Amino acid sequence: MKKPKWVVEKEQARKASGPETVWLFGLHAVRDALMNPKRQKLRLIVTKNAHDKLSEAIAEGGIEPEVVDPRNFSAPLDPGSVHQGAAMEVKPLSWGSLSENCIGRETPRVILLDRVTDPHNVGAILRSAEVLGASAVIGTRHHSAPETGALAKTASGALERQPYLRMRNLSDTIVELQRMGFLVLGLDGEAEQTIEETLEGKMHLPVALVLGAEGPGLRQKTKETVDHLVKIDAAGGFGSLNVSNAAAIALYASKAR
């Protein structure tokens, strides 16, 4: 018997909401999670060598580690995961609402991601966002990378400090930011103006930068919702940038000076 549409949609929403727990791995990711008081820690598996390197963080994290032989590392990770002898099961972080994270700074900058699903790209964007002072990185619940061990390892600790929000609908989120006073710019290689040209005389405004997935770029609905389409000033004939590199350059170009 075919399931009713509402049952299918409920199951899809539950699946898309992400796992109830996440396994973080790697010395940097585990250390920063141990030292994050907001992170709910459930289980820590370490080798003797990793335990020695993480001893101070383990003491601060308040969790009893399971010290195991490297040949018997039992954490449920993908075989290719470079865990460096440390893995920890945690609850995903809850950062709160859009307004809680995007209002308050003098000249806030926000990154929005349109169908950027590669956890390595999102992890690298979180790292750049932290370094360059972004208020938040925002994706969607269905078509963006969820919080995973691979994302956390690439973020090199930034996941614990840099707000990463996953909203239901990107266009609605853009409209909400516009109502909050943000100037929303969508990055498009075919745009006529650069980021700097568009922001001339407007650097004091809150700015949100929207980046699309490599290849397809921004969806048409996104292009129609942003305030302006902009491009990164590049040498003539140069190809497109990786989305994480583009995010870092766009953030730097939009910083108030």
Provide the whole-model pTM. 0.88
- Residue 78: closest CA among 123, 17, 41, 23: 23
Digits of tens for pLDDT over the chain (257 positions)?
566 655 555 455 555 444 589 999 999 999 999 999 999 999 999 999 999 999 999 999 999 999 999 999 989 998 889 999 999 999 999 999 999 999 777 789 999 999 999 999 999 999 999 999 999 999 998 889 999 999 999 999 999 999 999 999 999 999 999 999 999 999 998 899 999 999 999 999 999 999 998 888 999 999 999 999 999 987 665 567 899 999 999 999 998 76
CA atoms within 13 A on the CB side of 81: 23
Encoded tokens for 89: 């099961």
Task: State phi, psi for 127 to the nearest 5 degrees.
Answer: -65, -45
The CA–CA distances, whole Å, from 7 to 1, 2, 4, 11 equal 13, 10, 5, 6
CA-to-CA distance for 168 and 80, rounded, in angstroms? Answer: 32
CA-to-CA distance for 85 and 29, rounded, in angstroms? Answer: 12
Q: What's the pLDDT score for residue 220?
A: 96
Residue keyed to tokens 């109830």: 20
Q: Which residues is 88 bridged to in the sheet?
A: 24, 44
The b-or-e profile of 43-66 (16+ CB within 10 A means b, else e) is ebbbbeebbebbeebbeebebebe
Instruction: Give the rounded distance of the alpha carbon of 177 from its chain centre.
Output: 18
Encoded tokens for 30: 């585990």
Tell me the pLDDT tens digit for each residue of 93-110.
Answer: 999 999 999 977 778 999
CA-to-CA distance for 179 and 171, rounded, in angstroms? Answer: 13
- E strand or H helix at 121, and its extent? helix 119-131
Tell me the pLDDT tens digit for each residue of 171-210.
Answer: 999 999 999 999 999 999 889 999 999 999 999 999 999 9
Inter-residue contact 102 to 182 (CB < 8 Å):
yes
The b-or-e profile of 216-235 (16+ CB within 10 A means b, else e) is ebbbeebbebbbbbbbbeee
Inter-residue contact 88 to 41 (CB < 8 Å):
yes
CA-to-CA distance for 240 and 134, rounded, in angstroms? Answer: 23
Q: What's the pLDDT score for residue 175?
A: 98
